Structure formats: structure tokens, C-alpha cells
Structure 1
Amino acid sequence: MSSWEPWLAEGEQLKYRGIVEAIEADLRAGRIQPGDRLPPQRMIAELLGVDLTTVTRAFNEARRRGLVEANAGRGTFVRRRTDDGRFLGAPATPAVDLSMNTPPQPAAVNLKRLIPETIATLLAEENGMLNLHYQESTGSESDRAAAAVWLERRIADVKPASIVLANGAQSALFAICECLAAPGDAIAAGFVTYPGLKAVAQQRGLKLRPLSMDAQGIIPEAFEACCVMDAPKLLYVIPAIDNPTTATLSEDRRHEIVAIARKYDVAIIEDDPYSVLQSDPLLSIAAMAPEITWHIATLSKCATPALRIAYVVAPDAARAARLAAVIRAVNLMVPPINAALASRWIATGILDDITIAIRDENIARQKIAKAALGDAQIAADKCGSHLWIRLPPQWRAADFVQHAGRSGISVVPASVFAIGAAEPEALRLSLGVAPDRDALLGALKQLAYLLSQPSGAAKAIV
């Protein structure tokens, strides 16, 4: 049995660091001892009310610091100390985070300057202080009009009245599920999918139904079989640069999926953070089937996740109003100053400039990854900020994550994304958080070396 009761250390803005600091504090206070086993990651996530990705990242960081070690099949244990009080195995090299799917911050984009300058300009304008007041839960008329302009590239003739602003894609996803599904209802999704959907399903008591996937993403025949067997209320899909697999649904396949959804009366949640990064994006599902599609477009991957701005295109104004009512109950509203900043960046072209710079940096980092990882079995989109890597036969994902963590590199195993029993021996590597290309290259070379080793021999690397 575990002897540790999870808690979050105060003063840490990032929850995963709060978990690590709590572990270290309890170690130093003697509340847990070397050799103690920590609770399973899923249990910690449930107890602390965080998603599994956060706990996985915390465990990777704790391993990097040498606080804990993972033992395949047995769990995660507190490490022994050296005579001088240090924990065994703590690496001297700094951590490289390949776990969080954050866009890179290119040198050409100075957000440290752009954000305060734009806010200062907005507040100095006539009626600018209204951006510090309460506003409608849908977002202001001007912000929805700006969103419509930005969204027209993927959804022609989108109406501002059908648009609702949300506090990021995660809040949008929760609110849509609250509108459309009751506890016990089924949601169909790829057999590996965005962990945020898993968190929403757990909170709402929804049943996730895994769909088979191939290099193009969800297989239409699998979706239809699910409709016959499970009668899902919703289909969740990331049609462009899927997270985690990087697959992009072809236009023909999108039409097939739409036809099946119409046949069985299934609403579609089109989570679309990445198509704006593609140089030649395909027709959106919302453009094909606006009457059944809820389209989520966030700024988190094409600008910065710090703004917490997502635009939801509902099938019509009435359903947009229903969604706004849920957002009002949960978040009240999007911070008006953030929404106004996003609108200004849309109007001035700054958002386009940032997106292009991020796309260019993604392309450069994907080239680095392809060169560094060599013969590894990789799926990637040249414009995306992550890649999906199938491990060679000698490796299990859990073991590889452990060894990468000992080398100061955090990665995410397929188990974090899996729904159902099938968990491929695979990893998602996110290329955006590494501070520069040199740090990224060094981390990827280390991973390439690990991939080439027998899993047992990798212990000698530490």
C-alpha cells in the first residue's frame, strides 16, 4: 500500500510542479521514506482533480530530480539518499520538456513585448476601460465579429450570432458535452485521443467508445459500426494534425464521416487547433455539415495558450445561446481584455504573423526531429508541433518513459491518450517547449540513442 497522501504545494503556478514540490517536501519532512511506493498516477489525478497528463509530467520531473524511480509492473518508488543527503540518480543536465504540446516561441515573435503593448493600447482608447468590466457570456459583438472574420477561411459565411467565446478549447469541450450529452451517453473518438476529452468524460459520466484508426485517422467503417452497436450521441474528432497521432483526415473521408453522422443522428465535435498552421488546409467538417457540427478553434496552438481564447461555432444562434448559458454557469465569461487583445491581433494581422512564424519554427523543428531520430517509426505533419513515434519491439512505452526521465527528458506514453483496452507501444513527442533548436536536438539525439538500445541495457545510461 502507498503511504503518501497527494497534495499540491502552494506558490507553484504549474500544477505538475506543485505535485513534485509536495513529494520533495514530504520526503524532507519524513512523511514518506525511501522505498515507499507512490499511489498510481490515475489515483493521484482523481484525488487532486487534475488530468493524467499533469501527473505523468510530475512523475517525469520527479524522476529527473532523482526523487523517485519507476519499476515496470510494480509502480513508482521513492529513491534512496546518498550519504550527503542527495537522492540517488539525480541528473546534472537540465530537463527538456517534450511532454507539453505548446507551440514554440520563435525569435521573430516577441510576445513579451506584443502582449503588454496591445493591452496598453486597448485600455488607452476611448471606452477602453470597458475591457475590464463584465461582458456577455457569448463574448461581445465586436469580438464575435472579429472571430467570424478569422474563421471565414475554414467556414465560409459563418455568422457572428453562431459564435461563442470560451476559456480555451478545454472549457469549450466541457460546455458542449454539457449541452449535448447526459451521464451514461456514449461519445465516439479515436482509440487514442486528446486527454482533455477523457477528463470531460470522467467528470460528466460519459462513456468513451474507441474507434480504429489508420494513417488518415478515424476509419469510417469503424465509426458506423460504433453507431450501430453503441448509438453514440457525439463524435469527437481532430481532423487536422490529430493529437496524438498527427493524422489528417482526407476530404473524402470527412465526407464519409459526415454521411454516417447524418444517417445515425450523431453530432460532431470538430476540435480544430491545428489546421490554421497548415499551408493548404482541407475543407472543415463544419463547412460540410454546419447543422450537426460544433467547431472549436483555439488560439493556443497558433499563438499562445496563455490567452485562453477559443471560438466555438455552434450549428445555429439558438444552440450558441444554450452553450453560452453553460459557460455563464461555469466560467461566467472569457476575460474581456484577452478577447479584445485577440480581436485586435486579428484586425491588424498580428495573429497571422504569429501563426506564420510558429508554422515556420514548427517546420524547422520537425526537420531536426526527422534527422535526429533517423530510422525511428515516426508519424508527423511538417507544420505540426508534435510527432507520434512507434517504439521498436524491445521497448515498452512505460519503460522508455522511465529511462527518458532519468536522462532529464519528459515524454508522454500512449497510455495517456488511450481509451479502451488497446494501448500501442508509442509516444508523443512535443517539440515546442524546448527553449531553442540546440536543446531540442540534444534531447532528440539522446532519445535516438535510447531507442537503439535494448531496454535492459538502457539502465547503464543513467
Structure 2
Amino acid sequence: MELAQAGADSDDALHWIGRLDPAAGPRYLQIVAQLERAVTSGLLRPGDRLPPQRRLAEHLAVDLTTVTRAFGEARERGLIDAVTGRGSFISARQEQEGPPLDLSMTIPPAPKGLRLGELMQRGIAEILARSDADQLMNYHGGAGSLAERAAGAAWLAPLMGTIPPQRIAVVSGAQTGLNALLSLLAKPGETILMEPLAYPGLIGAARQRGLTMAPVASDAAGPLPDALDEATDRHGARLFALTPTLQNPTCITVPERRRRDLAAVARRRNLILIEDDPYSPLAGDAPAPLAALAPERTWHVATLSKVLTPGLRTAFVVMPEGADSAAFLTALRATALMPAPLMTALAAHWIRIGAAKDLLDGVRREAAERQALAKELLPETMRGHPHALHVWQPLPAHWARGGLIKRARVAGLGVMAAEAFSTDGRAPDAIRIALGAIPERARLAAALGLLAELIRDDAEAGR
């Protein structure tokens, strides 16, 4: 990656860090949280070189001791390594080994009774039997073939009804689609409205684009319509991005009445909506998406990676009615020329023959079993959903922020702190626990049981 090769004084080495908020708690922890978000979202990768501490302190207008303390905390969390005479680098240890029991990565668990390898072998053989391999593996520009876009329309039909394939673009994963949308819809320096806690990949994309993130106040049912109205007026914003179903990290699903009220505010304020919707197919009980309630102003992003298997790297972007598709495709090409043709062909084939639905049903069944384990083993303050891939766990008052993360790492557990999801530097004392990365339920149960013991540990341990 170019960042690792850049000189220590290059601004490229600072692109991952945004402004610090004096009201958002200790500044050294804000630096650590931004560093953790950048690693989680892929903005920083193992081996990337960080700027010298003095350079970072000058950039953030803080004391050198603040940055030194932040780097020390980051080393304790296993985020960075220091090399004498060369500087600090993003640690490769987590990529090479990972936590022995990974509760940090939200991926769909392998469903019981379905052999993914056999599905792939059979599907690829069927594709090659009716396709020209040379043509299949050639460059493919545009929004995807008509067959792939029609498959996307079929996949989304249970949620959104009939969608013309011409409104759909096939992209190489949701992150690619979100990056292209921010490039198209917002200029550097503009404000994007977001949920107070949001997907780290979206946060990283907004920061890389040079956007200012402003949170819209929310309650247990999601963003508040009056708060959206007020934030739009206060910031002069034109763009609001949200995940209304099984929100990452809180597991909140915005009810239909609230969605209609948010759509009404967006119409009155002429807001453009980005609906990041990876989990609706899993939920099974999700209300109509915003793209169905406000189709004239909503860009809907639906990935297969979060509900079927990550390696498909296929997502569908539903463009608003009357949107300039050429402008979006130009932004998309600048982000990624095309998705991997074999994977998109396989995804479309699975959708056509019903294998994608079978795989989805299997993931939902497995997710339900894992949610049942979480409900049984974790403290009752845990928030989940019968088919979600993660849960949200508030922490007891005696746990100091970051304390549980350190203890969990020592115990061999990887979890995500609330700071990684914060759009304004403020975060509750809570963690997100992912349920899909550990293959065996028995090992997952052991991990959840150990984590529950840590959470319930006495006040002395939390300091």
C-alpha cells in the first residue's frame, strides 16, 4: 500500500485521523478509537507506517504526551508495533493470528447441512458449461450484465417489490458502493448526517472523502425525525446515511412509522438518503425499506457478503427513480473498475436456481441458534435479534472505557468497543459482539461464557 511507502512527513500518513472533540472524553482515547476504526475498515492495513508522534501532535494541536499515551494504549491493544529507529506500524499480528476466539468480525456463519465448496464447484461448472470462459473473464464495464441486474431485482423483490433492472448496478461489495456514492453525492468539506453509532467502513469512507460527520440524535427506535429536521437545518446538510434494519452495532430496527416520518422529513428538506441495508434478508420481519418509501431520493445498498458468504464480494445498488446512472457509474469506475466477473456470475446463478435462498435460510437458522446462546449466556442487558449476526452489550458502570477490551484480549477474545462506531467521538460504555466468525457452536458458547464472566467481574477488575 502506498501509505507504507510514503515519507513520514507526507499528509497521506495522516488521512486516517480526523478532528478531536474536546467534549468527547480523553483525547488520547479518541486517537486510539480513530486508529481502531481505520484498521477495522481497512483504511489502514498491517505494515502501514504511522506518522511520527511529534508530527501527529502538531497536526492535532495536542501535547506530545497525549500522542505518546495514545500510541502506548494502541500497542497494549495489539493495534501497532514500534520498530526502533523506524517508527510505528500497524501490527501484522492480528492478521496473521487473530484472536483465538474472534467475536469481533460480523460474518455469516456456515450453515449446517450445506456444503459451500460443493455449491461453488457445481455452480461454477454450470456457469462454464453455458458461458465462454475467455469472455467471462474479460473486462466488463458498466452496471453489470442485464442477467446480473435482473438477478439483483429478483433478490430484492421480497423487500421492495418489482424493481426495473435498469435501476440496479452490480458492484464489488457494499464498501465499493458506499465509496462511490460519497464521491458522487458529497464534496470535501460538506457535512453528512449519520447515526451516532455507525458502520466503521462508512465512517472511514466519509473521513477519507474529507466530509464532516454530524450525528442525528436517536432513541431505541432509531433516528428521531425532529432531530433529523434540526440537524439538516443546523448543518445545511444534503445527505443522510443510515442502516435502518439490524443496525450495526446496536441491532436496532427502525419501525415502519418512524421510517415514514424520516422519509417525510427528507422530502421536505430535499435530503438525499443512503440506505445501507446488509441485513434485511436475514431479519425476516423488516419493514419496507426507505428505498420503497422514498424511491425518488434513496440510494439503497444491499450486499450478499453479509448474508451469504463474504467471498462473493457482490452487492446491488438500487438507484433512485430518475437518477443519473452515468454519473454514478463514472464514480464507481474511479473506485473499482468492475466486480470479479466469476463471483458476480456465481451470485446471479445461485439467485436464479434458488441456491442463494437455500444458503440464506441456512444462515438464518444458524444465526438463530447463536442468538439463543447469546441470550442464555450474556447479561440480560444484551440487545439482539433472532436472526442477527451480532449483539450489542452495554457494560456495567464499574467498567472503565477500554478496560474490558484489554481484559478480553488477555483472555484470548476479540470484541469491538463502541468507540470504533462513533461518528462524533462520543460513545457509550458498550461492546459489539459478533457471533458468526467462530465456526463451532461449542467454542462460541465457551467464548460467550468467558466474556460474560469478564463483564460480570467485580468493580476492582474494571478499573
Task: Note whether the superposition's TM-score is higher than 0.5.
Answer: yes
Q: 2:73 aligns with which of 64, 72, 75?
A: 75
Aligned to 1:276: 281
- 8 Å CA contact retained: 2:36, 2:420: no
Aligned to 1:221: 226
Q: 5+ residue gaps in structure 2?
A: 6-30, 47-68, 78-97
Q: State the one-letter code of the partner of 1:379.
A: R
User: Secondary structure at 2:215's aligned position in 1?
Assistant: strand
Distance across 2 between alignment mates of 1:48 and 1:118: 32
Shift in Å, 1:142: 1.0
Q: 2:411 aligns with which of 402, 407, 410?
A: 407
Q: 1:387 aligns with which of 374, 379, 391?
A: 391
Q: More deviation in 125-134 or 111-120?
A: 125-134
Q: State the one-letter code of the partner of 1:389.
A: Q
Aligned to 1:50: 42
The 1:47/1:354 distance shift into structure 2, 3 A limit, reads closer
Shift in Å, 1:224: 1.1
The 1:378/1:126 distance shift into structure 2, 3 A limit, reads closer
Q: More deviation in 357-366 or 143-152?
A: 143-152
Distance across 2 between alignment mates of 1:380 and 1:186: 31
CA-to-aligned-CA distance 1:37-81 (integer Å, 9 cap, x gap): xx95645876999347x78xxxxxxxxxxxxxxx999624579xx
Verify: 1:209 aligned to 2:214, yes or no.
Answer: yes
Distance across 1 between alignment mates of 2:411 and 2:141: 49
- 8 Å CA contact retained: 1:398, 1:413: yes
Distance across 2 between alignment mates of 1:185 and 1:78: 35
Q: State the one-letter code of the partner of 1:341.
A: L
Shift in Å, 1:372: 0.6
Shift in Å, 1:213: 1.7
- 8 Å CA contact retained: 1:185, 1:206: yes
Distance across 2 between alignment mates of 1:256 and 1:413: 31
Shift in Å, 1:202: 1.1
Percent of paired sites with the same residue: 36
TM-score (norm. length: structure 2):
0.80
Q: State the one-letter code of the partner of 1:262.
A: R
Distance across 1 between alignment mates of 2:36 and 2:99: 26
Distance across 1 between alignment mates of 2:358 and 2:209: 38
Alignment RMSD (CA, Å): 2.6
CA-to-aligned-CA distance 1:183-228 (integer Å, 9 cap, x gap): 1111111111111111111111011101222211111121111011
Q: How does 1:103-182 map to 2 (within 5 A)?
A: 103-182=108-187
CA-to-aligned-CA distance 1:340-380 (integer Å, 9 cap, x gap): 111110100000001111011111100000101143x1111
Aligned to 1:368: 373
Distance across 2 between alignment mates of 1:269 and 1:228: 18
Shift in Å, 1:116: 2.6
Q: 1:454 aligns with which of 433, 444, 458?
A: 458
The 1:75/1:427 distance shift into structure 2, 3 A limit, reads same
Shift in Å, 1:98: 0.5
- 8 Å CA contact retained: 1:72, 1:399: no
User: Secondary structure at 2:393's aligned position in 1?
Assistant: strand
- 8 Å CA contact retained: 1:162, 1:314: yes
Q: 5+ residue gaps in structure 1?
A: 1-5, 9-38, 56-70, 80-92
- 8 Å CA contact retained: 1:123, 1:129: no
Aligned to 1:85: none
Verify: 1:305 aligned to 2:313, yes or no.
Answer: no
The 1:358/1:191 distance shift into structure 2, 3 A limit, reads same
Q: How does 1:94-109 map to 2 (within 5 A)?
A: 95-109=100-114
Distance across 2 between alignment mates of 1:94 and 1:313: 36
The 1:195/1:48 distance shift into structure 2, 3 A limit, reads closer
User: Secondary structure at 1:178's aligned position in 2?
Assistant: helix
Distance across 2 between alignment mates of 1:432 and 1:443: 12
- 8 Å CA contact retained: 1:391, 1:397: no
Verify: 1:431 aligned to 2:435, yes or no.
Answer: yes
The 1:97/1:47 distance shift into structure 2, 3 A limit, reads closer
User: Secondary structure at 1:164's aligned position in 2?
Assistant: strand
The 1:280/1:408 distance shift into structure 2, 3 A limit, reads same
- 8 Å CA contact retained: 1:184, 1:207: yes
Shift in Å, 1:109: 2.3
Shift in Å, 1:317: 5.9
Verify: 1:319 aligned to 2:317, yes or no.
Answer: no
Q: More deviation in 207-216 or 355-364?
A: 207-216
Distance across 2 between alignment mates of 1:262 and 1:374: 41
Distance across 1 between alignment mates of 2:428 and 2:187: 30
- 8 Å CA contact retained: 1:164, 1:323: no
The 1:48/1:143 distance shift into structure 2, 3 A limit, reads closer
User: Secondary structure at 1:145's aligned position in 2?
Assistant: helix
Shift in Å, 1:400: 0.3
Shift in Å, 1:458: 6.6
Q: State the one-letter code of the partner of 1:75.
A: E
Shift in Å, 1:279: 2.3
User: Secondary structure at 1:384's aligned position in 2?
Assistant: coil
CA-to-aligned-CA distance 1:244-264 (integer Å, 9 cap, x gap): 000000000000000001111
CA-to-aligned-CA distance 1:71-128 (integer Å, 9 cap, x gap): 999624579xxxxxxxxxxxxx971100011111122221122123211221122435
- 8 Å CA contact retained: 1:412, 1:427: yes
- 8 Å CA contact retained: 2:217, 2:224: yes
Q: How does 1:21-60 map to 2 (within 5 A)?
A: 40=32, 42=34, 50-51=42-43
Distance across 1 between alignment mates of 2:277 and 2:159: 10
TM-score (norm. length: structure 1):
0.80
Shift in Å, 1:450: 0.7
